[in-house]
Chains A and B, each alone.
Chain A
């Protein structure tokens, strides 16, 4: 075992800033990318269905006229 305690683990031999700064950013970017991807999927699907509904309505209007 490398660590005597959790405090020892988080301290990283006095290099906590560098080690956790590295892993922290990597985690932030990867999770961030996944969040952005799922959000843009939702937005895109909403926008496309909206466009489709508008197109469908225009078509029925034209047939009525």
Chain B
């Protein structure tokens, strides 16, 4: 048993630690978004086949990655909370859900705006699009289920079961373009072939990192609210409020 590990697994000390880390994540996100957008619009060349509308991928692909990644992390924390009864990990899962749902919605929305000029349709019920839509419903289900249960610990457990069952959907999304014959194109991250020049790849990776930093910042901001809410009857919150919330 490591000592440091358990120190920060207490909500009170994590509250302080998160407060110190949040500005750094937001600052990093801002810098990375600026660099990523600059590369996406000014450095990356016009696509020979898809013209300028292809520039949607610089937000679409990172958002789609985040939607899946955040779900897996959320299910991991929820599962840990369920298995070991650790309150903070359950709170972390709850904090991640709205941000994950937001990225899923961005992925679907930008995908739709991509599909219209490229494929001639806003939406098709193919495997990739349908499984991503199911992901959005899983996030919404997780959030609604938790908010429908008054007792926080019971809400944590119910949410964890849903999150863990739903994790099956993530590999389905990821491999759907290989397993089924979908309208959605295959992975763009292939160094061979002409679909992805180096500047495009770099732009996309920087945008993904920016989304990552943003998501960590937002989730930490939200977990602090959840900690305050749930620990409101404890001494350290009383002291914190006496200091004006700092």
Chain A interface residues (CB < 8 Å from chain B): 1-3, 9, 12-15, 17-19, 21-23, 25-26, 29-30, 33-34, 37-38, 40-41, 44-45, 48-49, 51-52
Contacts and interface: CB of A to CB of B under 8 A. Distances in A.
Interface of B: 41-42, 44-46, 51-53, 55-56, 59-60, 63, 98-99, 102, 105-106, 109-110, 113-114, 116-117, 214, 218, 221-222, 224-225, 228-229, 232, 237-238, 241, 245
| Residues of B contacting A: mostly | helix
A13 B60 contact: no
A26 B225 contact: no
A48 B225 contact: no
Contacts, number: 84
A50 B34 CA distance: 41
A15 B118 CA distance: 11
19 contacts: A2-B41, A2-B46, A3-B42, A12-B52, A13-B51, A13-B53, A15-B52, A18-B116, A19-B55, A21-B113, A22-B113, A25-B110, A33-B99, A33-B102, A44-B229, A45-B245, A48-B228, A49-B245, A52-B241
